[in-house]
Amino acid sequence: MDCIIHRKAEFSASHRYWLPELSEEENQKLFGLCSRFPGHGHNYVLFVSLAGELDQYGMVQNLSYVKKIIKQEITSQLDYSHLNDTWPEFKETLPTTENIARIIWQKLAPHLPLVQIQLLENPHLWAEYQGENMEATLTVQTHFSAAHRLALPQLTLEQNSEIYGKCARTHGHGHNYHLEVSVAGKIDPRTGMLVDLGVLQKVINDYVVEPFDHTFLNKDIAYFAEVVPTAENIAVHIAQLLQEPIAKIGGELDKVKLIESPNNSCEIFCRQTVRNSAINQQREAVLV
């Protein structure tokens, strides 16, 4: 029986998005505030995921060894560094979150049975890499507040209450929704960007956050006049809204996760077959 384990590590580092072959104006247009000299910093959080069969000691890998390798190959080199000057790979491709995750994979792969690297630049932005050449996933987290009522119009209040409980009450109720949008694509070999982050954030804001925020979904969003706005249906509709505009900026919508409350959330996998196939191939490669 195979098992996946996860090891967390942290490092603090600065970086700058700047291409010397471009003018200052071109760098500012491409990278915005991230092009400022001498750069800016983050407290990065790293999750290293490993797969394998349990050994006689009940472990996939000895965690003391895993900790030692991560420190030796990654954190001791990156912590309190300026990333652009730390590894030669960042001279070729800028140290964006997605590209840092890719290079970390390359550094650790000779030592550990990896299945995924997840790197959080901050709590609202992270990248995942699974060893697929230049392909990675970038996730943006945002939020909106909205009210809804769960009820089918053809049913009585009593019937709806049997199905939806308190959520069927006549005047509805509200949530502070947290939304995670994951986009897959190839990392640009020079800029290190999967998609332009500023443009991606604008797409999410224009198509979802602004239209949904501070609304009564059943009455203010036309789609939910006919569809009950459960968390699942809201997530499905968000995925429908985002697929085409994300494709236009060069990415592919991978996943939409909607967190309705600390106890309730749902995920829509928009390219589940591709994603699961990649993970399974990694497992097979590790376990052979």
pLDDT of 9 > 50? The answer is yes
- Average pLDDT of the chain is 93
User: Hey, which residues does 256 pair with through a beta bridge?
Assistant: 181, 268
pTM for this entry: 0.90
Segment (H or E) for 68: helix 63-70
Q: What is the pLDDT of residue 238?
A: 98
**143 belongs to the catalytic site:** no
pLDDT band at 278 (very low <50, low <70, confident <90, very high): very low
Q: What is the pLDDT of residue 272?
A: 57
Domain 132-288 sits in CATH at 3.30.479.10
**Whole-angstrom Cα distance, residue 165 to residue 21?**
61
132-288 and 1-131 share a CATH fold? yes
pLDDT band at 287 (very low <50, low <70, confident <90, very high): very low
**Whole-angstrom Cα distance, residue 161 to residue 150?**
9
Tell me what percent of the residues of the chain surpass a pLDDT of 90: 92
Q: What is the pLDDT of residues 134-185, one digit of tens each?
A: 999 999 999 999 999 999 999 999 999 999 999 999 999 999 999 999 999 9
* Residue of 121, 148, 260, 270 marked catalytic: 260
Extents of the domains making up the chain = 1-131, 132-288
pLDDT of 288 > 60? The answer is no
* Residue of 167, 178, 232, 266 marked catalytic: 167
Domain 1-131 sits in CATH at 3.30.479.10
Q: Please compute the mean of the pLDDT values over residues 42-63 and round it to a whole number.
A: 94
Q: Please compute the mean of the pLDDT values over residues 216-220 and round it to a whole number.
A: 97
